[in-house]
Structure 1
Amino acid sequence: MGYCFFSTEKVKSQGELTSKYIHNYRQINVENADNSLLHLNEELLELGYDKNGVPKTYNDFFKERIDSLPYYKNHKIRKNAVHAIEVITTFSKGEDIDIQSWKKKNVEWMQNTFNVAKDKKSNIASIVYHADEPGNVHCHAIIVPIDENGHLNASRFLDGSKKLSDLQTSYAKDMEEFGLERGLEGSQARHQDIKKYYAGLNRGIEVDPPKENESALEYHNRILDQIQELQADSMRRRDEADREARRKIDEERIQQRKILERELLTAKSSISTDIDKLYKEKNDTEKEIALLHSQKAQIEKTVHDLQMQVDDFYKQQAFVQENIGKIEKYEYIEAQYRRLLQSDPEQAEMINSLLLAGNSEKEQENTII
């Protein structure tokens, strides 16, 4: 019977998410991957595309998932929050299992284990199957850890040895149908063929038997030389493996640093663009305010002119009213004069002469003044 293996890693930043995406989706040449086997890789749970038809990234999925949660409409993500969990699953090399069914079962287990949010939306960004790397086939899943309360909460799944042990047990239970069993509970081994490891321990070191006529001292010295050679070879292999591991770690750090630098440059460019936009909006607002002040002055002048016209109108109206009274008085006098002219022409003529004389004197007074 073979063994199934399961491991997790916390992804703590957008930069790490980008690095995981680049590796899992082979956006760069992966040194320990065989390019001739790339066609065997498969996206078991698709990440999908945005509205413009551009493939989404892990960062896109993270943002959409957070934006869909009511809690984060008025709450910020904690600075030390775990953004995602990477889950890697595999089994001991050399096991003859139905690989298609195994892939399908892995997807089902991931969905049943990590999709616990009440909004029923998937927490799993994608699941990628790799068959192009040395060792054995395996799956990479990136999970945004949203709990039952709609909060970003990696502790819900990972904190404490019991939770991790329960996850291992749960995964092993689903893998039993493929003839795979759980590794040694409590073991610190990661991604190793446990069956082969224990077999090597039990087998021990095989040594040559004594040669004919070989003394015990000669046999002892020969076997000691062999053991020392084995030890030296083991140390050399260990040192080479250590150097290779350190080199890969350094390369990954350099790659992550480059990614972070690009993200920083992008952020600075975005901030600069936003500042320029704000300055433009400020200038436009100031121009609008100046225009409003000018319009206000024009309106005030128009109101003043209208008030002057109203005052002139009232003066003219008073003048007209005054003249209408005079006209009416004159017409009354003229009517009386005509009646007098008909009834007593002489008296009418006398009154007219007096009026003419009075007007002439008034004109002379006005001339003197």
Structure 2
Amino acid sequence: MGNFTLDFKKAKGTSDARQSDHIERKIIPDNADPKRTHLNRVLIGYTDGVNGRDEAIAHRLKTAGIKRKITNDQVRVVRVVLSGTHEDMMALYEKGKLGEWCSDSIQWLQQTFGKENVVAAHLHMDEKTPHIHATVIPIVTGERRKAKKEQSEGKRKYRKKSNTVRLCADDLLNRQKLIGYHDSYATVMTAYGLERGIRGSEARHTTTTQYY
């Protein structure tokens, strides 16, 4: 069995346009084959009135019900790259199973992070190894961990609502959550002969893998 790839990267700033240009091929990277770009696929359609990945990010942030002002240093987007070893991904393609792999991967993302929070996903076939770029908005519901700690220590004078919608990538990408994501994705990937790498190493995977 080969290994699957599941990598996360936090993106700050008011726009992720540079990454959108790469994903949507407004700029063709040096390592991409223009003759294969037509094989790339948009895996998640945008809602009415939304045109492209950047607008999809902005639309979700605007309509999610976040009350607190989003600051420039907050993580607004989590970029997720899903793939596998080159040999295994090409074997899936040649066997006609890549479409099923894409569908199962997208379903896993939506079940894990919430359908509305997975605002974009693209399959790239024009680089060396087929892979998915998915875009997750790190929205969580409930109190901040700091607020919970203050309450337990008796520092809180009043109780905040537990259903508060917040933007918090740290809550989504803590060590235990990352290990859990790899656990649940591994279950899905067994159907494709793909398994996790060294257990525990996934907790350090917070940078997007480059496919060159």
What is the TM-score when the length of structure 1 is the normalising length? 0.45
Deviation at 1:174, TM superposition (A): 1.0
Q: Is this contact kept in 2: 1:92–1:192, CA < 8 A?
A: no
> Can you list the C-alpha shifts for 1:84-127, whole angstroms capped at 9, x where unaligned?
00000001121233111101101100100110xxxxx6011111
Structure 2 residue identity aligned to 1:83:
R
Deviation at 1:42, TM superposition (A): 0.2
Q: Which structure's residues are more often helix, by fraction?
A: 1
After TM superposition, the structure 1 stretch with the greater mean CA deviation from structure 2, 137-146 or 182-191, is: 182-191
SS in 2 for 1:126: strand
Seen in structure 2, the aligned counterparts of structure 1 residues 37 and 49 have a Cα distance that, compared at 3 Å, is farther
Structure 1 runs (4+) deviating above 6 angstroms are none
Q: Calculate percent identity across the aligned residue pairs.
A: 28
Structure 1 residue identity aligned to 2:192:
F
Seen in structure 2, the aligned counterparts of structure 1 residues 192 and 132 have a Cα distance that, compared at 3 Å, is closer
- Matched with 1:59 is 54
After TM superposition, the structure 1 = structure 2 runs for residues 96-175 of structure 1, keeping only pairs within 5 Å, are 96-97=91-92, 98-115=97-114, 122-134=116-128, 136-148=129-141, 149-159=164-174, 161-175=175-189
Q: Is this contact kept in 2: 1:14–1:59, CA < 8 A?
A: no
After TM superposition, the structure 1 = structure 2 runs for residues 173-322 of structure 1, keeping only pairs within 5 Å, are 173-187=187-201, 191=209
- Matched with 2:70 is 77
Seen in structure 2, the aligned counterparts of structure 1 residues 106 and 24 have a Cα distance that, compared at 3 Å, is same
- Runs of at least 5 residues in structure 2 that lack an aligned partner in the other structure: 142-163
- Matched with 2:28 is 29
Q: Which structure's residues are more often strand, by fraction?
A: 2
Deviation at 1:33, TM superposition (A): 0.3
Q: Is this contact kept in 1: 2:13–2:72, CA < 8 A?
A: no
> Can you list the C-alpha shifts for 1:296-343, whole angstroms capped at 9, x where unaligned?
xxxxxxxxxxxxxxxxxxxxxxxxxxxxxxxxxxxxxxxxxxxxxxxx
After TM superposition, the structure 1 stretch with the greater mean CA deviation from structure 2, 18-27 or 76-85, is: 76-85
**Which of 85, 93, 99 is matched with 2:86 structurally?**
93
- Matched with 2:3 is 3
> Can you list the C-alpha shifts for 1:141-179, whole angstroms capped at 9, x where unaligned?
0111111232111122102x2221221222111111111
Taking the aligned partners of 2:136 and 2:70, their CA distance within structure 1 comes to 16
Seen in structure 2, the aligned counterparts of structure 1 residues 20 and 48 have a Cα distance that, compared at 3 Å, is farther
Deviation at 1:27, TM superposition (A): 0.4
RMSD: 2.3
What is the TM-score when the length of structure 2 is the normalising length? 0.77
Seen in structure 2, the aligned counterparts of structure 1 residues 36 and 71 have a Cα distance that, compared at 3 Å, is closer
Q: For the pair shown, which has the larger CA radius of gyration, 1 or 2? A: 1
Taking the aligned partners of 1:191 and 1:86, their CA distance within structure 2 comes to 11
Structure 2 residue identity aligned to 1:57:
G
- Matched with 2:161 is none
After TM superposition, the structure 1 stretch with the greater mean CA deviation from structure 2, 83-92 or 96-105, is: 96-105
Q: Is this contact kept in 1: 2:66–2:167, CA < 8 A?
A: no
Give the aligned length: 180
Seen in structure 2, the aligned counterparts of structure 1 residues 101 and 61 have a Cα distance that, compared at 3 Å, is same
- Matched with 1:304 is none
Q: Is this contact kept in 1: 2:66–2:166, CA < 8 A?
A: yes
Q: Is this contact kept in 2: 1:146–1:153, CA < 8 A?
A: yes
Structure 1 residue identity aligned to 2:123:
Y
Deviation at 1:49, TM superposition (A): 5.2
SS in 1 for 2:116: coil
Taking the aligned partners of 1:129 and 1:166, their CA distance within structure 2 comes to 24
